[in-house]
Structure formats: C-alpha cells, structure tokens
Amino acid sequence: MQGWIVAGAWLFAVLLALVVLGFAGYELRWKTRRLQTDRAELDGLVAELAATAARLQTAGNRARAARSAGVATRAAGSSATPTS
C-alpha cells in the first residue's frame, strides 16, 4: 500500500515538473520573440536618430557658415564705407 502512495507522489511530482518546465519553455520562446521584435524596432529608431543627428549637424554647419559669412560681409561693409 505504501508503495503505491510513494509511486503516486513521484508520478505527481514528475507530471508537475513537466508542466512547469513546459510552461517555462513556452514563456522563454514567447519572450525571446517579443524581445527580438522590440530590438528590431529600437534598431530602426537608432538609425532614424543617427540620420536626424547628421541632418542637425549639417544644418548647424550651414548656420555657422552663414553666420561667419554675415559677420565677414558686415565687417567688409563697415570698413569699405568711411564714417564722417
């Protein structure tokens, strides 16, 4: 009689372990797919941000060049016209 109780307890433990491990495997696969999708979206955002940073750098360089050209034009204009 006690042998059946022990065997039943072991059978229950093995079945419970299989259910828990099966659920854990399912969760790991699901989360892996989810994280890969999120990673792909973030990689796209990183590329977009890099392109935006490059455009901002170009715009900054143009603004700096325009400001320098404006200062040079004003300086040349003020020295070319004598004040009396």
Integer Cα distance of 70 and 13 in angstroms = 82
Residue 53's pLDDT is what? 97
**How far apart are the two ends of the chain, measured CA to CA in Å?**
123
Give the phi and the psi of residue 81 in degrees, each rounded to 5. -105, 110
Split the chain (84 residues) into runs of 10 and give each run's mean pLDDT: 90 98 98 97 98 96 89 65 54
Residue carrying structure tokens 């060049």: 65
Residue 70's pLDDT is what? 78
Residue 78's pLDDT is what? 59
Integer Cα distance of 26 and 22 in angstroms = 6
Q: Give the global pTM.
A: 0.56
In the 3-class helix/strand/coil scheme, how is 15-30 assigned residue by residue? HHHHHHHHHHHHHHHH
Residue 60's pLDDT is what? 94
